[in-house]
Amino acid sequence: MAMLAKKIQKAKAEAIADIKTRFESVPDYIFTEYRGLTVGQLTTLRQQLREKGCSYKVVKNNFARIAFEEMKTVDVSSFLVGPTAVALSPEETNTVAKVLFDFAKEAPSLIVKGALVDGEIYDAEKIAAYSKLPGRNDLISMLMSTMQATTSKLVRTLQAVADQKAEA
């Protein structure tokens, strides 16, 4: 449960509204602990995530708790402990998670705490397994290559039959 002050300061209310607006703009969230990362490492991580269409926001835990409570989502307060940054993923959450886990190999200070994906809580192990799955675009390309291979094999077979009849 987030702590609410009796007298709400305007700046804090605006900060919470800003966080809530950002959170409402995306369906999925990956929670990380960034303690020990340098500014250069954070900048590099943000650039890698931006390439995937994702943003990475350092949040105040209490503000984030209030924003999630106002959004009436699943309770994510267990992830909002210690220095927290949230990767806001508009789509292809598993590719965003893959970027985070790959970066964590280079910079072990980055810890993926868990995620909220499609309204379901993923712990660190589950999001790690999810990151290893192919993305939507990868699955579509696999399907299309399989369909194309079948079609081209059919065309080659029909052409071979036509060539045999032409020789005879």
Domain 10-133 CATH superfamily: Ribosomal protein L10, N-terminal RNA-binding domain (3.30.70.1730)
The pLDDT score that the predictor gives to residue 142 is: 78
Are 103 and 57 in contact by the 8 Å Cβ rule? The answer is: no
Q: How far apart are CA 133 and CA 109, in angstroms?
A: 24
Residue in the block written with tokens 């960034």: 34
- Mean pLDDT score of the chain: 86
Look up tokens 């059919």; give the residue. Answer: 154
All structural domains of the chain with their residue ranges: 10-133, 135-168
Q: pLDDT of 86-124, one tens digit each?
A: 999 888 888 899 999 999 999 899 999 999 988 889 998
pLDDT band at 6 (very low <50, low <70, confident <90, very high): low
For a pLDDT cut of 70, what percent of the chain falls above it?
Answer: 96
What pTM was estimated for this model as a whole? 0.76
Tokens in use for 126? 């589950």
Whole-number pLDDT of residue 140: 81
